[in-house]
Amino acid sequence: MDLRLRAAELACADYRRESLLSACAVLGLAAVLAPLLILYGVKFGVVETLTARLLHNPATLEISPVGSGRYTADYVASLGKHPAVAFALPRTRAIAATIGLSRAETSGPLATRIVTASMEPTAAGDPLLARYGAAVPQAVYAQTEADTRLTESGVCLSASTAEKLGVGPGDALTGIVERGRRGAVEKARVRLTVTSVLPLAAEQKDMVFLPLPLLEAAEDFRDGRAASGMNPADGWTGSPLPDTPRVYAGFRLYARTLENVPRLRDAFRTHQVDVYTHADEIEQVMTLSASLGLVFSLISIAAAIGFAASTASSALAGVKRKERVLGQLRLMGFPMTALLLFPLTQALLTAVVGTALASLLYLGASQAINIMFADSIGHMESLCRLLPQHFAVALGMATALSLAAALGPALRAARIDPSEVIRDV
Amino acid sequence: MQHNDLMYSLRGIGKQRPGPEGFCLSISALDVRRGQLIALVGPSGCGKSTALDLLAGILRPDVETPDAVFHFSPVPEAAQDVLGLWRAGHGERLASLRLRYMGYVLQTGGLLPFLTARQNMLLPCQCAANEEERREAVERLAVELSVDGVADQYPATLSVGERQRVAIVRALAHAPAVVLADEPTAALDPAHSRRVMRLFARLAREQGCTVVMVSHAPDMAQEAGFTLAPIRVEKDANDERSVSRLHFSPEVA
């Protein structure tokens, strides 16, 4: 067997034989590390809980302009390509974005009821629909060469809209857009099929989510124009559309992450676009996280310095105390590297056992903390929480620090001159 | 006499020890034949242990003459130039020579406290990788020195005599070419000491092992079969420093 391995084995035997002193070293590490783990667990748990609460609601990531503006399709498309943006879609004027809905069948108690709802544009990748697993509605177009008009469309309903209409996914609806023109009320219709229904938690108001072309058609119709791509036979008539590109009153935009929300708000602000965001709430959590992180770092640095100093001094004391044993090993013919490994092995043992003990203490404490504060947190949430990789990092840091602190004493052990230490003075 | 027959052959080697209790050891000649039992004797403080440490290769010698020689030949064909190894900084090579070819008995406390007596005795075999072939021999040595009954105890629970006998077993355990012993029985009462030294000499001879022992009891050593190699202390005429001189070369004498 390799002599270095043999020396490590002897170091383990010595560590076991001196179990009392070894236990002191282990307790010394655990006493430093356990509070740090608990502190970091609380920091991580609190920030995670608050972040999860924010992320639970997709609206936290939403950014929408204040009032109406004039945005081109290209501008909104360029927003959508920004790395901080997950989703962006133009929105028509709110006043033009209402639609009356009724059930397609003509009989039954709810047949004649018309529910007026606000329309929101949607498309593939909509985070709100994705969050609740709702299928994204698609427009259906005529498939002949001469006729590419929109014949019907899917629709995603909010819970209240679906409830008032008494419909669910797969049911057919008629959408009715009205305008007053030359003293008369004109109506345009479109066939709709319910693709999905959002739960109440997602949206409380009477809302429908539709493909953007339908919102554009409704806006054009209300402006007295014949919406392109719609069938005039269903009432979509009026004056021709102007040649100028369409401008939109607003947009629906979702940031990719929480951190992106304040950044995007600031970017919009520099371009003189006022936006509604949840940036303030997000910034509160981020500030709390940063402050706790700073406090934790300061405490960790102080603890690390103290631990390194105590490890170095106890390793040095150990080498001094055992210099006769080390001298005997050298006299027997062990190489210097084997002597170097003797104190390092013991430092490693202390690091591993100490971290294990600290982790056990942490687990007990975190259980207690989570039980004590069980009332103020949700069922799936925990106030004090660490991931497996956090324990791995703690072990890595404790090991690296222990070995670094023991290196000086270990070099001293390696250079021991047997002729000076093997005899009683 | 064939050069091959010499375990150690030293010429013009010395060691200065600085400080108030410093002294000067001068080895003008030291030839130790293979299988010979030598006892270094002399007044206390004359540098007997220093000589032993020089032979062990744990103390770097001073060179006194330009044609200084320090040969160690654990195997007849391969003489190791110890001076050359020191000059080239090959301390690790010297360590591996100790591991394979040397045993060392200290006056007291030569055992590792965290190993049992048996583990201590077998450790040199494990390091020299001959544990399998030597295990029975080590058990026999332990029986001869009456420490087989305490083999599973730790050194702290052994008597001084038991510890020294375990140390002797350990020194012989891996069948070394040479055993260096520093007053191995000095800590024992005279009767016990005499008996252990006789046993030590007999067991070493049975293994064909060369022994260089430091002794403060020349009569006891001689009685056990050791050849005495006296170190003589001379006062330096000029600065009143003492010089210890060792000249032991049977074929020259």
For B114-152, the DSSP string reads TS-HHHHHHHHHHHTT-HHHHHHHHHHHHHHTT-GGGTT
User: Which tens digits make up the pLDDT trace of B97-114?
Assistant: 999 999 999 998 789 999
For residue A330, the chain B residues in CB contact (below 8 A) are: 58, 95
Element (H, E) at B244: strand B242-248
Residues 6 or more apart whose CB falls under 8 angstroms from that of A365 comprise: A34, A38, A384
pLDDT band, residue B237 (cuts 50/70/90): low
Among B112, B126, B131, B164, the strongest candidate for a mutation testing the A interface, having the largest count of A CBs within 10 A, is: B112
Q: Is A21 touching B (CB cutoff 8 A)?
A: no
CA gap A419, B7 in Å, rounded: 22
Between A403-412, B34-43, B235-244, the lowest mean confidence (pLDDT) is in: B235-244
Whether B240 has a pLDDT exceeding 70, the answer reads: no
Structure confidence at residue A226 (pLDDT) = 83
Whether B92 has a pLDDT exceeding 70, the answer reads: yes
Mean pLDDT across A316-339: 94
Whether A40 has a pLDDT exceeding 90, the answer reads: yes
Structure confidence at residue B253 (pLDDT) = 43
User: Which tens digits make up the pLDDT trace of B43-55?
Assistant: 888 889 999 999 9
A38 or A55: whose pLDDT is higher? A38
pLDDT band, residue B1 (cuts 50/70/90): very low
For residue A325, the chain B residues in CB contact (below 8 A) are: 112-114
User: Which tens digits make up the pLDDT trace of A236-276?
Assistant: 888 888 888 889 999 999 999 888 999 999 999 998 888 99
CA gap A330, A337 in Å, rounded: 10
- B107: nearest CA in chain A? A423
Long-range contacts, stretch A12-19, CB < 8 angstroms, 24+ apart: A12/A345, A12/A349, A13/B114, A13/B115, A13/B119, A14/A322, A14/A325, A14/A342, A14/A346, A14/B112, A14/B113, A14/B114, A15/A345, A15/A346, A15/A349, A16/B114, A17/B113, A17/B114, A17/B154, A18/B114
Mean pLDDT across A298-312: 93
User: Which tens digits make up the pLDDT trace of A124-169?
Assistant: 989 899 888 899 999 888 877 777 788 889 999 999 999 988 888 9
Mean pLDDT across B108-133: 92
The answer to whether the complex's ipTM is over 0.90 is yes
User: Which tens digits make up the pLDDT trace of A106-117?
Assistant: 666 666 788 999
Structure confidence at residue B24 (pLDDT) = 87
Domains of chain A, by residue range, sit at 3-55+284-421, 93-247
Q: Is A22 touching B (CB cutoff 8 A)?
A: no
Whether A23 has a pLDDT exceeding 90, the answer reads: yes
Structure confidence at residue A415 (pLDDT) = 92
Interface residues from chain B to A (CB-CB < 8 Å): 49-50, 53, 56, 58-59, 91-92, 95-100, 102, 104, 106-110, 112-115, 119, 123-124, 126-127, 129, 154, 182
Between A27-41, A176-190, B175-189, the lowest mean confidence (pLDDT) is in: A176-190
Structure confidence at residue B129 (pLDDT) = 87
Structure confidence at residue A68 (pLDDT) = 84
User: Which tens digits make up the pLDDT trace of A353-387?
Assistant: 999 999 999 999 999 998 888 887 776 678 888 99
Structure confidence at residue B236 (pLDDT) = 67
Please give the class, per CATH, of domain B3-248. alpha beta
Q: What's the mean per-residue pLDDT of chain A?
A: 89
Q: What is the value of pTM for the model shown? A: 0.78
User: Could you tell me how far CA A358 lies from the centroid of its own chain?
Assistant: 29
Q: Which structure tokens are listed for A26?
A: 């282990």
Residue B99 is nearest to which of A1, A333, A418, comparing CB atoms? A333
Mean pLDDT across A185-214: 91
Mean pLDDT across A333-344: 94
For the ranges A30-39, B42-51, B243-252, the one whose mean pLDDT is highest: A30-39
Q: Do A423 and B106 touch (CB under 8 A)?
A: yes
Between A103-112, A317-326, B196-205, B208-217, the lowest mean confidence (pLDDT) is in: A103-112
Whether B19 has a pLDDT exceeding 70, the answer reads: no
Q: Cα-Cα-Cα-Cα dihedral of A245, A248, A254, A260, to 10°?
A: 80
Mean pLDDT across A322-332: 93
